Structure 1
Amino acid sequence: MLDRIPVYILAGGKSRRFGSDKALATLAGEPLLVRVARMVKPFAASVTVVADRSGRYSALGLRTIGDLSPGLGPLGGLITALNDLREPWMLLLSCDLILVKASWIGHLLAHRRENALAVAFRHQIWEPLCALYSRDIQSHAHEVLAAGERSLQQLFAMVPAVPVALPSDWPPIVQINTPDDLQRAEEWLKSMTHPEA
């Protein structure tokens, strides 16, 4: 049975490239944020959304906390999540993931190490928004921020992190950044549901 772990979903971005609140954009008939929250239920001890303000997505039935430092991107969202975290580890996801599988998370959990501060899929670069973070990474995250950086890639470069190979069923479109991405994701999901003969 898969270990349950606290899950934090980042939904505090301004969605500039998308043009509207990306978390509420619908994919396969449901808002992206709701979709991600549904997909993590099999392994989530709890689900918390980090948004620009507390309660923003409470109407969707999701616990929502306000970003402690709005405008600092995913690194700021991570720091907010870590500040809220009471368990040793958490899973951090973005609200615009089109797919999250329990088998993927099980694979990440299996790669946790005693001295590691993060576990993430890595191909050419890290995939930091489908990754495990130790509560002990918090001081390092603050160091990166204090140095004027906002990149999670920079954080991974300075901490003991375990790289995990991308799953063989990693989707061709991982996240939704633009309306075109959303359309391509819809088409890909339909092709998976109704593959051509």
Structure 2
Amino acid sequence: MLNAIVLAGGRSSRFGTDKAFVKVGGSTIIESLLFPLSLIFEKIIVVTNHAEKFQKFPVELVEDRIKGLGPLAGLHSGLLASDQQRNFVVACDMPLLNPRLIQYICSVPYGQIVVPRIKDKVEPLHAVYSKACIPIIEEQIASGDYKIQNSFGKADVCYVEEEAIRKFDPSLTSFLNINLQKDLKKIVSCL
């Protein structure tokens, strides 16, 4: 059994407004994300610095324990809050999740981190993290290194390669995220 952890603590500074609540195809991005997750996971933890915005959703709300350090701090807070050893972690700006791909990634039985890799690019915010990563993350934070991928060299990592990913998501739309207004147009064109 795994929990899902949604990282929704970002400032959305490049996008200009809170991305989680932008409408895409009739639903907000967070609604588009929570629906497929609710089909797979009993518990969904949303890590946010604005809990009041997420009150209406059937999720557990957690605030960043260390504010202002980005996704690594959100990952840390989510793992600490989870009652499961392994957790599927996703960013709140990825509205085209593929449930079958998520189930496949979650079914990989080994690795403290199970992360998709497409060519040489990893997708650290669409991955499984074990609570065994907590001390690695804490060491990183203490050293002032806030890039999630930098923890990969210190953990047991299993990469899910592009060939396996494309069996579930041939066009790789699961990994499309929204940082800029033009990204929103690309997402809408995939609906």
TM-score scaled by structure 1?
0.87
Change (3 A) 1:52 1:162: same
Gaps of 5+ in 1: 190-197
Are 2:8 and 2:20, in contact at CA under 8 Å, matched by a contact in 1?
yes
Match of 1:126 among 122, 125, 131: 122
| Inter-partner Cα distance in structure 2 for 1:176 and 1:71 | 20
Match of 1:86 among 66, 83, 86: 83
Match of 1:117 among 112, 120, 123: 112
| Inter-partner Cα distance in structure 2 for 1:25 and 1:81 | 23
Are 2:117 and 2:161, in contact at CA under 8 Å, matched by a contact in 1?
yes
Matches within 5 A, 1:21-170: 21-113=18-110, 116-123=111-118, 124-166=120-162, 167-168=165-166, 169=169, 170=172
Q: Residue in 1 aligned with 2:181?
A: 179
Q: Deviation digits for residues 137-180 of structure 1, max 9, x if unmatched?
A: 10001111112111111111221110001321211861111111
TM-score scaled by structure 2?
0.90
Q: Deviation digits for residues 38-66 of structure 1, max 9, x if unmatched?
A: 01122112112110144431134443221
Question: Counterpart of 1:41 in 2: which secondary structure?
Answer: helix
Change (3 A) 1:173 1:10: closer
Are 2:97 and 2:174, in contact at CA under 8 Å, matched by a contact in 1?
no
Greater shift in the superposed pair: 31-40 or 172-181: 172-181
Whichever residue aligns with residue 86 of structure 1, its letter is D
Gaps of 5+ in 2: none
Greater shift in the superposed pair: 170-179 or 28-37: 170-179
Q: Deviation digits for residues 107-128 of structure 1, max 9, x if unmatched?
A: 2123221xx2110101212211
Q: Residue in 2 aligned with 1:194?
A: none
| Inter-partner Cα distance in structure 2 for 1:172 and 1:101 | 6
Q: Residue in 2 aligned with 1:8?
A: 5
Normalized per residue, the structure richer in helix is 2
Alpha carbon RMSD of aligned pairs, Å?
1.6
Whichever residue aligns with residue 171 of structure 1, its letter is T
**Rg (Cα) greater in structure:** 1
Number of equivalences: 184
Question: Counterpart of 2:173 in 1: which secondary structure?
Answer: coil
Are 1:88 and 1:134, in contact at CA under 8 Å, matched by a contact in 2?
yes
Q: Residue in 2 aligned with 1:195?
A: none
| Inter-partner Cα distance in structure 2 for 1:54 and 1:187 | 31
Percent of pairs identical after alignment? 26
Whichever residue aligns with residue 153 of structure 2, its letter is A
Deviation for aligned residue 1:101: 1.7
